[in-house]
Structure 1
């Protein structure tokens, strides 16, 4: 338990972009926020052969930078969730629609709103991601050009101040925003801190992330109602207040 008078701690494993805003939201909800990004993001220099696409599909906010560099700001964008859509609008894109969900919801939105006859679709994703989405869109008649906008690799070490907070019992909840980041963060966690970490409450963005955490020994895991940051924060709630 946290020391008397101190706020209970929440560990945020999300990388930028998104880490800073999540830390702010966690702090505003009454928690002590600890930053421990699980992944290191490398942006890719994007080359696209076609001069024009009917639309662009973003599976992550990490892909906004690549879209901005490769496309006119008038190009219609389909974003996996609200945060990604907000970043696209902030980058200057005028026509942005959010699927408010996951890749399945994103595919459904594009199939409902976009006509395959209007032209090819550029899908920007992370390395080793987006293949199933591209296949689903092609099955629906779309011509899809998939490009890797960024790659993510696990961190090799966790900051000493985070490890100390874990060992001293100052962290009560850990937030995990993907199965990949959960696995990477756990791999970087020293064995001496494993028992303390798995005694925290884990909030997972998906069942896939929850499965990684369960295999690592977490006893108490809460899965967000929808796979997005808003649902993660709703599951966290405020200190001393249990959310459904």
Structure 2
């Protein structure tokens, strides 16, 4: 199966390798790239905090280039939104990791179950744009949190001919969509070409992602049973 991968380039390369091992033909179409704000990360980490919250492996790539003179406490409690983020935390040397079920609100509930009344704020090493479900739920639970936007995802533009080549030359049979923003961006730049993909399935990692798919394409949407790539692959 020819599968379009819309994740940012570093993550997309890993996904492509997994697809190849399963016998599929991946087509890389990264829709965004990261800009890291390492000074913001440094300033946030030197302030007192009771635990770290991370919802994307990109946060650890942002941490990778910060001031080497800053000692990061890698034994501090770290709350990761899911297993992929937790794996990135382990690779970055963190040892005290709690793993959520893949969504922000659920992660907030996990944090509340582990930290009843922290005397210092939680530090959320966040990106932009992002869903607000985690922060909203933390506020509902009365948990203090300080948000540090340490990276920003900016869109990648493609010429029409390049999109036609990647999507239509050898017709894609599936498009993997990883977030609401990711899905919205795909159809913003490729909706005209997607009309010419009547046999293509749009595989969404969550209902929230699926809601960003234009109504005309929703009959071809499939939604993963859980918000992780393994469940997304199960739709292929």
TM-score range, shorter chain: 0.7 to 0.9
Aligned partner (choices 42, 52, 59) of residue 55 of structure 2: 59
1:104-150 CA distance string (max 9 Å, x none): 11111101112323422001222243544223223323221111121
1:145-196 CA distance string (max 9 Å, x none): 11112111222116856632422343111100011111112222273x2322
Output the aligned Cα RMSD.
2.3
Structure-2 residue corresponding to 1:164:
165
Structure 1's 153 and 142: CA in aligned 2 closer, same or farther, altered over 3 A? same
Structure 1's 165 and 119: CA in aligned 2 closer, same or farther, altered over 3 A? closer
Structure-2 residue corresponding to 1:151:
152
Gap regions ≥5 residues in structure 1? 1-7, 237-244
- After the TM superposition, which of the residue ranges 131-140 and 145-154 deviates more from structure 2? 131-140
Residue 13 (1) aligns with residue 26 (2): no
Gap regions ≥5 residues in structure 2? none
Deviation at 1:18, TM superposition (A): 2.1
Structure 1's 211 and 134: CA in aligned 2 closer, same or farther, altered over 3 A? closer
Structure 1's 49 and 211: CA in aligned 2 closer, same or farther, altered over 3 A? closer
Structure-2 residue corresponding to 1:225:
225
Deviation at 1:25, TM superposition (A): 1.0
Structure 1's 198 and 146: CA in aligned 2 closer, same or farther, altered over 3 A? farther
1:125 and 1:176 map into 2 onto residues whose CA distance is 20
Aligned residues: 228
CA contact (8 A) 1:17 1:62 kept: no
Structure-1 residue corresponding to 2:82:
81
Query: What is the TM-score of this pair, normalised by structure 1?
Result: 0.83
Residue 112 (1) aligns with residue 113 (2): yes
